[in-house]
Copies of this chain bind each other. A is one copy, B any other.
Amino acid sequence: MKNSCLIKGPITPVLISELMASGNDDAGAGAVSIFIGRVRDDETDGKRVTAIEYSAYEEMAVKEVEEVITTVRSAFSDVRSVFIVHSLGVVMAGEASLFIMVTSGHRDHATRACRHTLEMVKERLPVWKKELY
């Protein structure tokens, strides 16, 4: 499985298990830090969100993801792998739309690099959402 991609629909528990398994080969990776972003059933103006529809400038998003990974790897020398997956299309409330996983030798770089990746994804990925009620 490729480390990073845009996928159609939610990031299912099965896909998450597969992504996590692909980080399992490396017995030098003592630390795995994961962030999962999920669609919240927020209420705005008395209406409850049932789903979010994500769209992206896909060609640019793919390039940005690669640059984020390169930046994170060069900033955190103990990092051994970085995975980024983002949903496109409709994702129901409670389902996952973002998956980030960083493996490293020790805990410090895994946790910090995961957070840093998350912030860069938020800031740099050309992705837009539309709440569905």
Interface residues of A (CB under 8 A from B): 13, 16-17, 20-21, 24-41, 93-94, 96, 105, 107, 110-111, 114-115, 118, 122
Contacts and interface: CB of A to CB of B under 8 A. Distances in A.
27 contacts: A13-B20, A13-B21, A16-B20, A27-B39, A27-B40, A27-B41, A28-B40, A28-B41, A29-B38, A29-B40, A30-B37, A30-B38, A30-B39, A31-B37, A32-B34, A32-B36, A32-B96, A33-B33, A33-B34, A34-B34, A35-B107, A37-B107, A40-B105, A107-B122, A111-B114, A111-B115, A111-B118
Contact of A111 (B27, B35, B38): B35
Closest 10 CB pairs of A and B: A27-B94, A34-B34, A30-B40, A27-B41, A32-B36, A27-B93, A111-B115, A30-B38, A17-B17, A33-B35
